[in-house]
Amino acid sequence: MTSSRKLPAKTFPLLILVPVFSSLGNVLLGKGMRGVGEIHHLSFSTLAVYFPKILSSVWIWLGIGSLLLFFVSYLLVLSWADYSYVLPVMATGYVLAPLLAHLLLGEVVPGTRWVGAAFIFLGVVLVGRTPPRTTGQA
């Protein structure tokens, strides 16, 4: 069976792309919405004002594009790997976020957050050592 040999080779790049596109998309949407300004109460009239503003933001569109790429890579990896394998591995985004915030933005990350990130890292290593697919060929 050649496909099971090839499995990890394409699984790992996609498993890296999934959390990267997902966190990047959220950061871009966050940046876009900061530019739009705080929405204080939800009503049709305020939405009518904010909607054109939201749709004219380049950051929002980049964010939507990134989230679409996230969903496509998520679907691709789920076409062969177990859900119980992909789900915990996707949590690496929670490790990436404090690491990037610390390294790039110089943010002070509280100690408990590093402990949590270490838990996630260990959990992902444990799951990553199990075979990606335990069900039969579709």
Nearer to other proteins, 44 or 83 (CB): 83
Residues of the shown chain interacting with other proteins in the complex, contacts defined by CB under 8 A = 3, 75-76, 78-80, 82-85, 87-88, 91, 94, 98, 110-113, 115-130, 134-135, 137-138
CB of 63 to other proteins, least distance (A): 15
Nearer to other proteins, 35 or 71 (CB): 71
Q: Minimum distance from CB of 136 to other proteins (Å)?
A: 9
Provide the minimum distance between the beta carbon of 103 and other proteins in the complex, in angstroms, as a whole number: 17
Least distance between other proteins and beta carbon 17 (Å): 12
The DSSP result for the chain, as a single string, is: -HHHHHHHHHHHHHHHHHHHHHHHHHHHHHHHHHHH----S--HHHHHHHHHHHHT-HHHHHHHHHHHHHHHHHHHHHTTS-HHHHHHHTTHHHHHHHHHHHHHH-PPPPHHHHHHHHHHHHHHHHHHTS-S--SPP-
